[in-house]
Amino acid sequence: MSEAFRVNILTIFPEMFESFFSASILGRAREQGLIDIRTTDIRPFSNSKHHNTDDYPFGGGAGMVMMAQPILDAMKAVTTEYSSAKRIYLGPRGKRLTTSLARELAREKELILLCGHYEGVDQRALDACIDEEISIGDYILTGGELAAMVLTDCVARFIPGVLGCAESPEEESFSDGLLEYPQYTRPRELDGRSVPEVLLSGDHAKIRAWRRRESLRATLRFRPDLLEGADLSPDDLKIVKELENECSSES
């Protein structure tokens, strides 16, 4: 069996992670030894008397800044065991997390994720020990812990065996540049609303064609900006034109 994909998360709140990583698909992947997720508490690495990890910002201003020393020492301790790890800081100014970035990160063997808190992290710690900064979106969280969970969850889906079916991550929204088609399950009839007939037909070619059309429809409706970068065939372009005409005749 191949070695587990390893993630070590540096945080001052390790207790936040336990239930998230123990449940559902990630919990099962951990039990199966496909992914090994650990946390490292930064606090015990602090040299200060009360194990403080933050201090006032030079130059004044609101809030506190995470000190470099405990982070650098925690990182040093962890990198001895995770010597080939890519070291990532979760921060709002970083590169945006996308499906393709998650797919790329899943090709690494190990990741170390640093979670900031308060006003952020002393820049010298980032300069000294971080390979890449990654943001999960254009908004501000109170800390990097949620972002580390999001990144780990998203990357884990690309680790062979985690989803139980190797193709699944490639059939989701964004994987081919489009949003996913609508999904249905039982019952066939619900309060007068029926499942589209084609999905009950057993005709796989027709189902594939319907799904492609609905995927294009959803993208046109919710994220038309994605259509510009998507890899569309001449048939897709014809469908988009038809859908645009449908929309304009409805309005």
For ligand SAM, the binding residues (CB under 6 A) are 90-93, 115-117, 119-121, 135-137, 139-144, 147
- Residue 43 CB, shortest distance to ligand SAM, in Å, is 16
- Residue 13 CB, shortest distance to ligand SAM, in Å, is 11
CA separation, residue 78 to residues 1, 104, 197 (Å): 25, 22, 55
Contact status, residue 174 vs residue 99, Cβ threshold 8 Å:
yes
- Residue 97 CB, shortest distance to ligand SAM, in Å, is 8
In terms of Cα–Cα distance, which of 116, 108, 31 is closest to 66?
A: 116
Q: Which is nearer to ligand SAM, 174 or 210 (CB)?
A: 174
- Residue 57 CB, shortest distance to ligand SAM, in Å, is 10
- Residue 178 CB, shortest distance to ligand SAM, in Å, is 25
* CB burial of residue 61 (10 Å; 0-12, 13-18, 19+): exposed
Reported for 49-54, long-range contacts at CB under 8 A and 24+ positions apart, including other chains, are 53/12, 54/117, 54/118
Q: Which is nearer to ligand SAM, 111 or 147 (CB)?
A: 147
Give the CA dihedral 104, 133, 36, 82, nearest 10 degrees: 100
The Cα–Cα gap between 122 and 52 comes to 14
**CB-based closest residue to ligand SAM:** 116
For the chain, first and last CA: distance in Å? 57
Q: Which is nearer to ligand SAM, 92 or 161 (CB)?
A: 92
Q: Which is nearer to ligand SAM, 1 or 140 (CB)?
A: 140
- Residue 51 CB, shortest distance to ligand SAM, in Å, is 19
Q: Which is nearer to ligand SAM, 89 or 181 (CB)?
A: 89
Q: Which is nearer to ligand SAM, 10 or 178 (CB)?
A: 10
Integer Rg of the chain from CA: 23
The Cα–Cα gap between 163 and 232 comes to 27
Strands (E), the chain: 5-11, 35-41, 54-55, 65-66, 86-96, 110-115, 132-135, 189-190, 193-194
Q: Which is nearer to ligand SAM, 87 or 117 (CB)?
A: 117
- Residue 80 CB, shortest distance to ligand SAM, in Å, is 24
